[in-house]
Structure 1
């Protein structure tokens, strides 16, 4: 079947892809092996690697000549690897990481104009993938050869994340000063936002809009990919690392399926968090408990993770081994 497709990955993105390709005349195949096009979007590097390279994965299951279109956030290195493996497996691979222009909209994926794809790969592959990409996203940007799309996606992610966090922290400052300095009250006018995305985030926080199709989990996947790309290039990005730690904290207390605007709750009152289904006691079990407990467990008081050798987490995520740890950060 010429216009058949299969999809693997996140269900929210999958529903959007199926609806838009269906409107274009594509039919969902019964399995990967009978599809002419396979579209993927995974929210972790591990899931993405398994989807393609695991035993029975897409590289093995797809028929010769199948077009592989990956919308996932990843790294330039992975994109180049997938492109090379596809070439020797008689498959056609295109990286087209998806970006959401306004991530705090409740219907973030329903409007094509709110979606951008950074497409990269061989010219013939890009030409074959263009109908699919134009059906999915309002803007398709050709970035060049394999790896270039993921590099562009990483740069977009770093800038967008910085705007989201800075807007949330600016709002937190206004609220904190108003609570503690009675002369200001509600008469202290906000300066506003420096960019449209930040303005959108501030509006969502002010209106209490903390749910949406685009989630903290998705943003964490994108930022993790960007940081991995930086690490591959021996580059340290302190601001991005701090942003990821904040998002991880929100995920730990139950906010992984919230919109990024929910990051404001981390800076607010515990009661407001509870109203949104967030539980700070989860952080108590996920984070290290401090020096006193370490000492009781046979660790010298005041020791640190680098020199102790006791095996304790010392501020890392005990129940979340995939997270690097963030001490015991809490506004509560």
Structure 2
């Protein structure tokens, strides 16, 4: 495996693509707006104007796009990946998307002599830059093993989760955990502020105890600085939580915390905060503190 096609070069994807190049892979890239990936071109990536041209001679195709509808757009149809990749190509969707779409890609890939994996990631923008992402892989185990060196270019906690769709289901479970954690962090900070505690001292005191978490380490300092720049967009987290809620409903599960956190984030999105990072959930509680409707 030498040549990789990469589609989806946003906050996460661009850093992941850069790390793939650093490991010596040749890189084809496609983006709707060429100027946004000019830095990757300068570093050696080859830009293509269309998806068919980008993927036709690749040994593996990696996608990490925004929404399930974007996954369907780049994979299916006359100009999609499945129609234009050569036989034997590995097609790896690293978007957080629908398990059902992952299963559909897997079925159609097999019909065309392709190898499909769903491999969503967690670790945020910092993990993408550092090449320390957790990668959650579903599909045939032999395909996972074949792609392991490629995954190792982007992450350091790489696990095989099971058949097609299992990677996506694992990521949705991860997002359910994160939803509760971020909400708990924001509620704790709101409580501490109301009680007159020094918030930095609070964080220093609990960070290494039972309340410690990656979310606390990453997001709490940003909250204290009023830094709401996105490491992960609210709009994308809402998409993930909606996917999880839909899958839970299909299993007749009641996930009350997930539903409440989703509702709170949707309130913020309606207020114009959908382009903020997930740490901006604190704004919901600040409205509560001032007595404004939320």
* TM-score class, shorter: 0.7 to 0.9
1:144 aligns with 2:162: yes
What secondary structure is seen at the aligned counterpart in 2 of 1:257?
coil
Aligned ranges 1:95-244 → 2 under 5 Å = 95-100=118-123, 103=124, 107-113=126-132, 115-175=133-193, 177-178=194-195, 185-186=196-197, 190=202, 192=206, 194-200=211-217, 201-244=219-262
Contact between 2:141 and 2:160, CA under 8 Å: does it hold in 1? no
Say which is worse superposed, 215-224 or 12-21, in terms of deviation.
Answer: 215-224
Contact between 2:179 and 2:261, CA under 8 Å: does it hold in 1? yes
What secondary structure is seen at the aligned counterpart in 2 of 1:28?
strand
TM-score (norm 1): 0.71
Hey, what does 2:14 align to over in structure 1?
Answer: 15
CA RMSD of aligned residues (A): 2.7
Take 1:88 and 1:234, find their aligned partners in 2: how far apart are those partners? 33
1:40-66 alpha-carbon deviations (Å, 9 max, x no partner) = 112211111222124421111222211
Say which is worse superposed, 250-259 or 144-153, in terms of deviation.
Answer: 250-259
Take 1:130 and 1:94, find their aligned partners in 2: how far apart are those partners? 11
Is the radius of gyration larger for structure 1 or structure 2?
1
Unaligned runs of 5+ in 1: 179-184, 273-328
Hey, what does 2:263 align to over in structure 1?
Answer: 245
Unaligned runs of 5+ in 2: 29-47, 49-53
Higher helix proportion (structure 1 or 2): 2
